Structure 1
Amino acid sequence: MLLQQQKIQLSAYSDLYDLIVPKGNLLRKINELIDFSFIHDELVDKYCATNGRNAESPIRMFKYLLLKTIYSISDVDVVERSRYDMSFKYFLEMAPEDAVINSSSLTKFRKLRLKDTDLLNLLINKTVA
């Protein structure tokens, strides 16, 4: 089941982002400039609305892949870094105390949801546009 990604969850620790992630941080700028909601619209038909548990947000999954591309790191490394790098958590719109995904989820997302490599290119091009 696919739900629209919500903004950063209210947390007693969310104010840490203003202290730790500078206003000029690349990931903060990307979050402020790009509306990633188009990803949900592009991938909605790739999810079953009636079966299975709630899926991880496709927007967040795409953002993990974007982080991988920006920083040239592996699935395992991007997930590990998002565990402690506050700019990554901010970019992923997670509360500071939120747990991260299992790195195998990125592989499944690529194989099951982004089977069509043109779809991945479309999403990247829309992000850049």
Structure 2
Amino acid sequence: MLKENNSAQQGLEVVYIENLVPQEHMLRNIDKYIDFSFIRGLTKDLYCPDNGRPAIDPVVLFKMLFIGYLFGIRSERQLVKEIEVNIAYRWFLGFSLTDKIPSHSTISQNRVTRFKDTNIYQEVFDNIVFQAINKKLVDGKILYTDSTHLKANANKNKYTKEEVTQSTKGYFEELEKDINEDRIAHEKKPLKKKQK
């Protein structure tokens, strides 16, 4: 029997956003294992503490960029549009269903002014990778590389998949060594070894 859907589009409902995001969603696992709060400490010197307009929480800003990178959303405008309609993205960022999402210009202005000429993106990336390795979310068995921003006469549909036989511990040690060499080259202190 054919039935018309006459339910009203406008109505008052009590909704718990936690129940709308599937338990197996990738962002739930990321939220469970990766602590993004370190970003506030890394960025505090880039914000004025006592004047100006209230800024977007830097954790939210970097999580937005993380979503864009993770799900292949290459435009800041498109990223904001996707966050507006995707409940899992809103949940991950700590927004309710009715919260206003920061505009694309907020993202780009932070990128081209506040974070310009800093290595904040590299520091955030390194910290997230370290956390992923420490939680054994990264095993180092398959390695893909991406050389963006390089013009080449190459077939973009061709890539090489390599099996890496290095252990997670060895991968982590090599990664830490490379990062410390880079930090020393940029006149920064090497990262301290964590006690196990």
Question: Would you call these one fold, judging by a TM-score over 0.5?
Answer: yes
Quick one: which amino acid aligns to residue 110 of structure 1?
R
Aligned to 2:26: 26
Aligned to 1:98: 99
Query: What's the CA shift for 1:128?
Result: 2.1
Is 2:124 the counterpart of 1:123? yes
Is 2:57 the counterpart of 1:47? no
Task: From the CA coordinates, give the structure whose radius of gyration is larger.
Answer: 2
1:115 alignment partner, SS class = coil
* Structure in which a larger fraction of residues adopt helix: 1
Per-residue Cα deviation, 1:41-80 (whole angstroms, up to 9, x for no partner): 0000000011111101000000111111111211011100
- Rounded to whole Å, the distance in 1 between the matches of 2:117 and 2:40 is 16
2:101 alignment partner, SS class = coil
What is the percentage of aligned positions where both structures have the same residue?
A: 30
- Rounded to whole Å, the distance in 2 between the matches of 1:114 and 1:24 is 34
Query: What's the CA shift for 1:89?
Result: 0.2
1:110 alignment partner, SS class = helix
Work out the number of aligned pairs and report it. Answer: 116
Q: Retained in 1: the 8 A contact 2:90–2:96?
A: yes
Unmatched 5+ stretches in structure 2: 1-13, 131-196
Per-residue Cα deviation, 1:3-40 (whole angstroms, up to 9, x for no partner): xxxxxxxxx53x1332x211111111111111111000
Q: Retained in 2: the 8 A contact 1:17–1:86?
A: no
Unmatched 5+ stretches in structure 1: 1-11
RMSD: 1.4
Query: What's the CA shift for 1:95?
Result: 1.4
1:51 alignment partner, SS class = coil
Quick one: which amino acid aligns to residue 57 of structure 1?
D
Name the CA shift for 1:117/1:45 in 2 (closer, same or farther; >3 Å).
closer
Q: Retained in 1: the 8 A contact 2:17–2:96?
A: no
Q: Retained in 2: the 8 A contact 1:28–1:90?
A: no
Structure 1 residue runs of 4 or more that deviate by more than 6 Å after TM superposition: none
2:108 alignment partner, SS class = helix
Quick one: which amino acid aligns to residue 36 of structure 2?
F
Name the CA shift for 1:116/1:33 in 2 (closer, same or farther; >3 Å).
farther
- Rounded to whole Å, the distance in 2 between the matches of 1:90 and 1:53 is 25
